C-alpha cells in the first residue's frame, strides 16, 4: 500500500480526479445566473435626415451617460463593458424644428457577446435635449474694471484679447449682445497694473447669460491698466515765415486754445505746449484770415481731449503792407563747374510789418537771390523757374516778405579746355 501511494500511478490518478472536480465546479459556477450593472454608457441621439438637412443639431450632449443592468451567464456578463452596449434616444424622427425635447432611452447589444438579457430599464429613463441651429457671433470685449487714480493722472484699460467668438444654439447666441470683463481694484493706483479677468456675456438688458451650451473662443483675457501723467497744455502756432522773435499772440488766436494730453513721465516732463501743423504765415496779407489746421500731438502722447483740428485766426489788420522794387540780384551756392544767368533785372515785392519798421526800409536795402543749396532735386541744365528769396537787413524790426516769388534761371555747364 505504501509503495502504491508513492508510485507515479497514484499521483496521476490524484491529478485526474482534481481536474475533474475543478471542471465540474467551474461548470456549475459559469452556468449560474449573474446580474451586473453597466454604468457610464454614452448616450447617442440621432436626428432624422430631414432635421439635419435643415441645419439642426443636438446641443448639451457632452459627457451625458446612462446605466443599465444585465443578467446572464456569469462568464459572459462578467466580461461585458460599456462598449458592448448602446443606449440610444428614441422618437427622434418626430423632431423637425428647434426646441427642447424629452426623449426616452433604450439599450441594445452592439458587441459579439449576446448571451445575456437586460434586466432593468435604462437609468435615467429619459434625456432632455436642446435642438437648434448652430450660430456664431463675434463681439468686441469691453472693459468694466472699476478702479481709482489720483488727480493729474490719466488711465485706460488695454485688453490682451479685443474680441471673442461666441458659438452655440441660435436661440441662445442671438440673445448675447455684449462681452465684458469685470473686476474691482481697491485703493488708488498711480502706476500700471496687470491682471487676468473672466469674460462675461450679457443680454441687451445687461443681465448675465450662463448657458452650458455656449462656447467662447477665449474665456478670460489679460487686462493692463495703463496709468500716465496728464497735462492741459496751450496750443501754439510756430512762427514760420515771420521773425522768430515776433510775439504772435498779438496777432493770432487759437480755438480751442488748450488740449489735454497724457504720456510717459519722461515725455510729459519736457512738454509745455502742443504745436499745430506748420503754417507759412508769410502767405497771409494784412487783413483777417481764418484757417483750420491739424494739431501736432507727439506720437508718444495720447490726445485725451480728442481735439484733432483747431481754428486759427490770423489778424494782421493792425500791420501795414508796402511794395518795394528790388534791383539787386545774387546767385548763391552754384555748384562747381556750372554757371547761371538770371535775366530778371528788377522785381516788385511786398513787405508786411509795423509802420515804423517799413518806413525805415528802402528798395536799395533789399537783395533778391537764388540759392542752389535749397534745390533738393539737384541742378538742372537749361532754363527753368526757380524760387527767389528776399534778404531784409538785420535789425529792421518786425517785417517780413509777403507771398512767394520766382524767376527764370539759365544754367550752363562750364566748358573745359583740353
The string of pLDDT tens digits covering residues 323-358 is 999 999 999 999 888 999 999 899 999 999 999 999
Grade residue 23 by pLDDT with cuts at 50, 70 and 90.
very low
Residue closest to 243 by CA, chosen among 392, 31, 140, 123: 392
The answer to whether position 14 is within a domain reads: no
The answer to whether position 21 is within a domain reads: no
pLDDT in tens, 79-104: 999 999 999 999 999 899 999 999 99
Quick one: 308 and 342 in the same domain?
A: no
Could you tell me which residues are beta bridge partners of residue 321? Answer: 352
Q: Rounded to an integer, what distance in angstroms lies between the CA atom of residue 23 and that of residue 16? A: 11
pLDDT in tens, 100-157: 999 999 999 997 888 899 999 999 999 999 999 999 999 999 999 999 998 889 999 9
Look-up: residue for cell 489720483? Answer: 150
State mean pLDDT over 280-287.
Answer: 91
State mean pLDDT over 293-321.
Answer: 94
67: Cβ contacts below 8 Å, ≥ 6 apart:
37, 38, 39, 40, 41, 122, 123
Helix (H) or strand (E) holding 71: strand 65-73
Provide the domain limits for residue 110: 30-124
Q: Rounded to an integer, what distance in angstroms lies between the CA atom of residue 167 and that of residue 170? A: 8
The answer to whether position 50 is within a domain reads: yes
Q: Rounded to an integer, what distance in angstroms lies between the CA atom of residue 327 and that of residue 303? A: 50
Look-up: residue for cell 447589444? Answer: 109
Quick one: 169 and 223 in the same domain?
A: yes
Q: What are phi and psi of 217, to 5 degrees?
A: -65, -25
- The pLDDT of residue 24: 46
Residue closest to 375 by CA, chosen among 409, 417, 329: 409
- The pLDDT of residue 27: 46
> Which of 315, 348, 381 is the last residue before a domain boundary?
315
Quick one: 303 and 324 in the same domain?
A: no
Please state, as a whole number, how many other Cβ atoms lie within 10 Å of the Cβ of residue 328: 14
pLDDT in tens, 254-279: 999 999 999 998 999 999 999 999 88
- Extended strands (E) in 74-177: 85-89, 99-109, 116-118, 126-149, 153-159, 163-169
Q: What percent of the chain has pLDDT above 70? A: 92
Quick one: 113 and 147 in the same domain?
A: no
List the single range of 68-72, 196-200, 251-255, 378-382 with lowest mean pLDDT. Answer: 378-382
The answer to whether position 88 is within a domain reads: yes
Quick one: 311 and 346 in the same domain?
A: no
State mean pLDDT over 298-302.
Answer: 91
- The pLDDT of residue 28: 45
Quick one: 310 and 324 in the same domain?
A: no
Quick one: 120 and 141 in the same domain?
A: no
Question: What does each C-alpha distance from 22 to 11, 12, 417 come to in angstroms?
Answer: 17, 15, 130
The answer to whether position 61 is within a domain reads: yes
- The pLDDT of residue 42: 95
Q: Rounded to an integer, what distance in angstroms lies between the CA atom of residue 271 and that of residue 265? A: 10
- The pLDDT of residue 13: 64
The answer to whether position 9 is within a domain reads: no
- The pLDDT of residue 218: 98
Quick one: 152 and 218 in the same domain?
A: yes
Query: What's the domain count of the chain?
Result: 4
> Which of 291, 315, 339 is the last residue before a domain boundary?
315
- The pLDDT of residue 124: 96
The answer to whether position 18 is within a domain reads: no
Quick one: 140 and 190 in the same domain?
A: yes
DSSP annotation of 365 reads G
| Selected residue with higher pLDDT from 143 and 9 | 143
Q: Tell me the three state secondary structure of residue 21.
A: helix
Whether 31 contacts 10, CB under 8 Å:
no
pLDDT at 376 over 90: no
Quick one: 352 and 295 in the same domain?
A: no
Quick one: 284 and 336 in the same domain?
A: no
> Which of 281, 315, 349 is the last residue before a domain boundary?
315
Look-up: residue for cell 436626428? Answer: 47
The answer to whether position 372 is within a domain reads: yes
Grade residue 375 by pLDDT with cuts at 50, 70 and 90.
confident
| Residue 20: cis peptide before it, omega within 30 degrees of 0 | no
Grade residue 242 by pLDDT with cuts at 50, 70 and 90.
confident
List the single range of 132-136, 222-226, 247-251 with lowest mean pLDDT. Answer: 247-251
Whether 378 contacts 340, CB under 8 Å:
no
Amino acid at each position: 500500500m505504501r509503495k502504491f501511494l508513492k508510485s507515479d500511478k497514484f499521483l496521476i490518478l490524484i491529478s485526474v480526479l482534481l481536474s475533474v472536480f475543478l471542471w465540474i465546479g467551474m461548470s456549475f459556477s459559469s452556468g449560474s445566473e449573474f446580474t451586473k450593472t453597466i454604468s457610464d454608457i454614452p448616450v447617442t441621439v440621432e436626428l432624422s435626415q430631414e432635421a439635419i438637412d435643415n441645419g439642426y443639431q443636438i446641443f448639451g450632449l457632452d459627457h451625458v451617460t446612462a446605466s443599465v443592468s444585465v443578467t446572464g451567464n456569469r462568464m459572459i456578463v462578467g466580461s461585458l463593458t460599456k462598449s458592448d452596449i448602446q443606449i440610444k434616444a428614441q422618437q427622434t424622427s418626430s423632431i423637425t424644428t428647434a426646441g427642447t425635447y424629452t426623449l426616452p432611452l433604450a439599450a441594445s447589444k452592439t458587441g459579439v457577446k449576446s448571451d445575456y438579457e437586460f434586466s432593468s430599464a435604462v437609468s435615467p429613463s429619459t434625456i432632455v435635449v436642446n435642438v437648434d441651429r448652430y450660430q456664431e457671433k463675434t463681439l468686441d470685449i469691453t472693459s468694466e474694471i472699476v478702479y481709482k487714480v489720483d488727480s493729474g493722472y490719466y488711465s485706460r484699460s488695454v485688453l490682451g484679447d479685443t474680441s471673442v467668438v461666441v458659438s452655440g444654439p441660435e436661440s441662445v447666441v442671438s440673445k448675447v449682445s455684449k462681452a465684458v470683463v469685470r473686476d474691482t481694484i481697491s485703493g488708488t493706483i498711480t502706476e500700471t497694473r496687470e491682471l487676468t479677468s473672466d469674460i462675461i456675456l450679457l443680454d441687451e438688458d445687461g443681465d448675465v447669460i450662463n448657458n452650458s451650451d455656449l462656447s467662447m473662443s477665449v474665456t478670460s483675457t489679460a487686462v493692463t491698466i495703463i496709468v500716465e501723467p496728464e497735462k492741459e497744455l496751450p496750443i501754439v502756432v510756430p512762427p514760420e515765415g515771420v521773425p522768430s522773435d515776433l510775439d504772435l499772440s498779438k496777432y493770432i488766436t487759437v480755438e480751442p486754445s488748450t488740449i489735454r494730453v497724457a504720456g510717459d513721465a519722461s515725455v510729459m516732463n519736457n512738454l509745455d505746449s502742443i504745436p499745430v501743423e506748420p503754417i507759412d504765415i508769410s502767405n497771409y496779407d494784412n487783413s483777417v484770415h481764418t484757417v483750420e489746421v491739424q494739431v501736432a500731438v507727439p506720437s508718444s502722447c495720447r490726445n485725451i481731449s480728442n481735439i484733432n483740428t483747431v481754428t486759427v485766426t490770423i489778424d494782421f489788420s493792425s500791420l501795414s503792407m508796402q511794395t518795394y522794387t528790388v534791383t539787386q540780384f545774387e546767385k548763391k551756392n552754384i555748384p562747381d563747374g556750372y554757371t547761371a544767368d538770371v535775366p530778371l533785372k528788377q522785381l516788385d515785392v511786398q513787405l508786411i510789418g509795423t509802420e515804423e519798421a517799413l518806413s525805415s526800409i528802402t528798395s536799395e536795402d533789399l537783395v533778391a537771390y537764388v540759392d542752389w543749396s535749397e534745390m533738393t532735386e539737384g541742378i538742372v541744365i537749361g532754363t527753368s523757374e526757380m524760387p527767389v528769396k528776399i534778404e531784409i537787413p538785420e535789425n529792421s524790426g518786425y517785417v517780413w516778405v509777403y507771398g512767394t516769388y520766382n524767376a527764370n534761371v539759365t544754367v550752363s555747364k562750364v566748358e573745359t579746355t583740353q
